Every structure is written in structure tokens, then in C-alpha cells.
Amino acid sequence: MKANRRSSDIFRLKIKLGRAGLVLLGILLAAFGLKGFLVPNHFIDGGITGISLLTNQLTGVPVSIWLIVFNIPFIFLGVKQIGKNFAISTSLAIVALAAIIYFVDFPVITNDKLLISIFGGFFLGAGIGLAIRGGCVIDGTEFWPFILTVKVF
């Protein structure tokens, strides 16, 4: 009986570590897409990230601050609709993305507009997808598809 419980605990730990790894990789890819392609070339993304980028260009306040501020209402919705664990992991992921965007300098990869849109969108989208697969969102607008997936499937 003890062996089964121990193996069950190890299995749950492996799942949690795997999800955390997906979220971390997603955050890094999204930050690379933003800082390496979109932000230095003044490209605007959609969703809360896009609103943060636009507000940054209008006010000069760092994108990281706006990411956190604009995602707060969606975190509260996450608590009510999905649960505390989702809200906590989403909050941590958003803060980690904001911190990486603020503190880590990625090189500007290209100035070609077509390549910026293709690769910036690819890395940002891949990061968002991995974060969702890991159980959280890093942009408030992904909350709605996430909740549909959780409630329907």
C-alpha cells in the first residue's frame, strides 16, 4: 500500500514539474518574441499584450507594468470561474513574463517587417500555447478559450 502511494506522489510531482517546465518555456519564448522582434520594431500584438504595447508607446511606461495592470481583472475572473490554483499560477506566469521583459535584454534579430511579423508571432504564439498547455495564461484574453476548454471538455 505504501509503495503505491509513494509512486502516486512521485507521478503527481512529475506532472506538476512538467507543467511548470511548459509554462517556463512558454514565458521565455513569449518574452523572446516580444523583445527580440515586436517591441524594438514597434509592432503591436493583439490582446492584453497589444494594449500594453500600445499604452507603452503612448505613455513611455514600461510594457511590464502595463502587462500586470491590464491582466489584474482577468486574474479575478479566473478565481471566480476556474479556481485559486489557476489564478495563482496565472499571476506568477504574468509576473515572470513582465520581469523577463523588463530585466532581460534580447538582441534585435531583424528589421525586416515580414520576418518580424512571422517570427515574432511564431515565438509569441508558441509561448502562449505552451503556457496554456501548462495550465495558465500569460495574456488575459486567452482566459476565455481556456475557460471554454475547462468547462466544455
Lowest mean pLDDT among 1-10, 80-89, 114-123: 1-10
The grid coordinates listed for 112 are: 525586416
Is 25 buried (19+), middle (13-18) or exposed (0-12) by CB count in 10 A? middle
In the prediction, which pLDDT does 71 show?
Answer: 93
Average pLDDT over residues 70-82: 89
In the prediction, which pLDDT does 145 show?
Answer: 79
Task: Kindly write down the DSSP assignment for every residue of 4-66, as one continuous string.
Answer: HHHHHHHHHHHHHHHHHHHHHHHHHHHHHHIIIIIGGGT---SHHHHHHHHHHHHH---HHHH
In the prediction, which pLDDT does 148 show?
Answer: 78
